[in-house]
Amino acid sequence: MAESNFIDYVKICCRSGKGGAGSHHFFRAKGVPKGGPDGGDGGRGGHIILRGNAQHWTLLHLKYRKHIIAKPGEMGGENRMHGADGDDVVLDVPLGTVARDAESGEIMAEITEDGQEVILVKGGRGGLGNDHFKSSTNQTPTYAQPGEEGIEQWVILELKILADVGLVGFPNAGKSTLLASVSAAKPEIADYPFTTLTPNLGVVPYRDYKSFVMADIPGIIEGASEGKGLGLRFLRHIERNSILLFVVSAEKLDPGSEYKILLKELKKYNPELLQKQKILAISKCDLLDTELMEEMKKKLPKGIPYVFISGPTQFGIQELKDLIWKTIHQPS
């Protein structure tokens, strides 16, 4: 996926349709010059609806569509005929999309399943026709309700990537190389920080034709939770991953301290992230010999499963995939 095509944040103005007015018609026919009221109700205004679509991976198609306007309902007719409802506007969005009120920040909807539909902004109700207002004391009501106004609301759509495994690490830790070595994804790879500027997804094949989805999140730096670097913008993508795979380069003398810094940034952003299952991968291990690996193991944090890997040489990759599969499917 081209970097310029990955859009995970849009702000749109949604305007639902106005309800149609009720009719104040009176029945007229040959021989019935003064029939009673028979005005029908107005139609409902069109809704703005969000619909999950598993074929979408980005909000790019909404980036330049700033104003979403639904059709109004039609006026009621004679003979108690109900006016037609206004056409709804259905916005297809990727799974993992969260809609928020732009002013209050309140969550309005979360889309997590293919085909799931949520009314984002309701259309105005249609007005009642004069037939509803007849009574023993007023047999010829000339009044009918006007349609209810539609709602205009600014909405923020944010995409939080849904994946089985989220890669967490510092810039240039080897996350993109790992993703490229285990899947068909082709993230940009270079020997400098912040090569990855947008999240990348890859489907990782496993034994017996099984597979799982891995997401490469742009690198986190110390202070990312306060807005430094690129981390704050993309930390939200980690929230929807089933497990977190921390990737620390073997070039670092103390991978345990690197891991603790990453944990600290996640905790500052959202403490609930620390409840997720975690795996540690020491990357670029083609730089190490057996003696250095044994020395490094002594500095690794306790209580978290780890694997030494090298993407280019495939060292430890199958062991890592086995551990990921086991972790994903074990009871939490």
CATH number at residue 139: 2.70.210.12
> 159: which residues sit within 8 A by CB, 6+ positions away?
7, 8, 9, 58, 59, 93, 94, 96, 97, 98, 237
Q: Give yes or no: residues 4 and 83 share one domain.
A: yes
Q: Kindly give the confidence (pLDDT) of every residue in the chain, 332 residues in length, as a single tens digit, with 9 standing for 90 and above.
A: 344 456 778 999 999 999 999 999 998 888 887 888 999 999 999 999 999 998 887 888 898 888 999 999 999 999 999 999 999 999 999 888 999 999 999 999 999 899 999 999 999 999 999 999 998 888 889 899 999 999 999 999 988 777 788 888 887 777 888 888 887 655 444 443 444 456 677 888 898 888 888 888 776 655 544 444 444 556 667 777 889 999 998 887 788 888 888 888 888 878 888 888 999 999 888 877 888 888 888 888 888 999 999 888 889 999 999 999 999 887 65
Per-residue model confidence (pLDDT) at position 49: 97
Per-residue model confidence (pLDDT) at position 287: 76
Per-residue model confidence (pLDDT) at position 239: 77
Inter-residue contact 82 to 25 (CB < 8 Å): no
Domain boundary among 101, 126, 159: 159
Q: Give yes or no: residues 133 and 191 share one domain.
A: no
Domain boundary among 159, 181, 203: 159
Q: How many residues does the chain have?
A: 332
Q: Give yes or no: residues 60 and 203 share one domain.
A: no
Per-residue model confidence (pLDDT) at position 47: 97
State the virtual CA torsion across 312, 237, 231, 273 in degrees, nearest 10: -100
Q: Give yes or no: residues 135 and 172 share one domain.
A: no
Q: Give yes or no: residues 173 and 225 share one domain.
A: yes
Q: Give yes or no: residues 68 and 217 share one domain.
A: no
Q: Give yes or no: residues 81 and 230 share one domain.
A: no
> By three-state DSSP, how is residue 181 classified?
helix
Q: Give yes or no: residues 17 and 91 share one domain.
A: yes
Name the residue range of residue 169's domain: 163-329
What Cα–Cα distance (Å) separates residue 285 from each residue in 41, 248, 249, 289?
73, 10, 8, 8
15 sits in which H/E element: strand 9-15
CATH number, domain at 321? 3.40.50.300
Query: For the chain, what is the domain count?
Result: 2
Q: Give yes or no: residues 30 and 116 share one domain.
A: yes
Helices (H), the chain: 175-182, 231-234, 255-269, 290-297, 317-329
> 61: which residues sit within 8 A by CB, 6+ positions away?
92
Domain boundary among 131, 159, 187: 159
Q: Give yes or no: residues 153 and 11 share one domain.
A: yes
> By three-state DSSP, how is residue 90 classified?
strand
Q: Give yes or no: residues 324 and 205 share one domain.
A: yes
What Cα–Cα distance (Å) separates residue 146 from each residue in 14, 16, 41?
22, 16, 10
The torsion region of residue 185 among left (phi > 0), alpha (psi -120 to 50) and beta comes to beta
Phi, psi of 13 (to 5 degrees): -100, 120
Inter-residue contact 217 to 167 (CB < 8 Å): yes
Encoded tokens for 109? 């909807």
Rounded to two decimals, the pTM is: 0.67
Q: Give yes or no: residues 177 and 123 share one domain.
A: no
